[in-house]
Structure 1
Amino acid sequence: MIKISQLNKEFESRVRLGIMSVLMVNDWVDFSEMKGLLEITDGNLASHSTALEKSEYIEVKKEFVGKKPKTSYRVTQKGRQAFNEHLDALEKLLGR
């Protein structure tokens, strides 16, 4: 039997769950696109993406396109594995 404590605390936030869900099915997603998809503020996306980056679940790429800064995200292999384990634990918890 699965215990709720086996769920990954890093994915408890709906924003982090959203970031990971988007990145699991896309290669690189830029800041503006992610912000629009999740309907969140700049600061909210920045703080949650920083937390996921510190856990090494996502990679953040910052570059300049012309003279404009561009931030993009992608899931790491560690992040992909952790998120899949989290989803598996959720399914078991729900009895599926």
Structure 2
Amino acid sequence: MSTPSGFDELIHPATRLSVVALLAAAEWADFPFLRDSLSLSDSALSKQLSTLEEAGYLEIRKEGGGRKRRTKVRLTSLGRTAFEGHVAALRAIVEGAGPTAAPAATGPEAAAATASDTQQRPHHAKAGR
């Protein structure tokens, strides 16, 4: 199976995908909100944000100064388009990976197969007796 159009290797790692998914639902997000929501250290989140910013997927603003300095982050239109394309590619992969439906068996062969399956499955006693 080939990789569907829109699959984005940059967004795909779980941490980056989580960052982008959170930002897709907000206009702007504060650094502490992202850090706490994703259970990341400051340095781990900073690294992921820098990578996404370098790709043009994020805009990062630093407001204020000193101890009151705040970092705010948002998806750019390029980042939003990349995220939506990646999600669509993941859906295509999932939908294409389902089992091939075999025609339903009927008649004596189906009954024999069902009986055989039942006999091969172990029966476990219920807990709490």
Structure 1 residue aligned with 2:120: none
**C-alpha RMSD of matched pairs (Å):** 1.8
- Deviation of 1:65 (Å): 6.1
Larger proportion of strand = 1
Q: What amino acid is aligned across from residue 3 of structure 1 in structure 2?
A: S
Larger RCO (alpha carbons 8 Å, 6+ apart): 1
Identity of aligned residues (%): 28
Q: Is the 8 A contact 1:16 1:48 kept in 2?
A: yes
* Counterpart-to-counterpart distance in 1, 2:79 and 2:23: 10
- Deviation of 1:12 (Å): 2.2
Moved more, 12-21 or 76-85: 12-21
Structure 2 residue aligned with 1:4: 3
Gaps of 5+ in 2: 97-129
Structure 2 residue aligned with 1:55: 55
Q: What amino acid is aligned across from residue 42 of structure 1 in structure 2?
A: D
- Deviation of 1:3 (Å): 2.2
* Counterpart-to-counterpart distance in 2, 1:89 and 1:67: 42
Look up the SS of the partner of 1:9 in the other structure.
coil
Q: Is the 8 A contact 2:4 2:89 kept in 1?
A: no
Q: What amino acid is aligned across from residue 2 of structure 2 in structure 1?
A: K
Larger proportion of helix = 1
- Deviation of 1:5 (Å): 6.8
Q: What amino acid is aligned across from residue 51 of structure 2 in structure 1?
A: A
Change in CA separation of 1:20 and 1:67 when aligned onto 2, cut-off 3 Å: same
- Deviation of 1:95 (Å): 1.1
In the superposition, the TM-score normalised over structure 1's length comes to 0.90
Change in CA separation of 1:39 and 1:82 when aligned onto 2, cut-off 3 Å: same
Q: What amino acid is aligned across from residue 31 of structure 1 in structure 2?
A: F
Structure 2 residue aligned with 1:74: 74
Q: Is the 8 A contact 1:3 1:93 kept in 2?
A: no
Q: Is the 8 A contact 1:23 1:74 kept in 2?
A: yes
Gaps of 5+ in 1: none
- Deviation of 1:62 (Å): 0.6
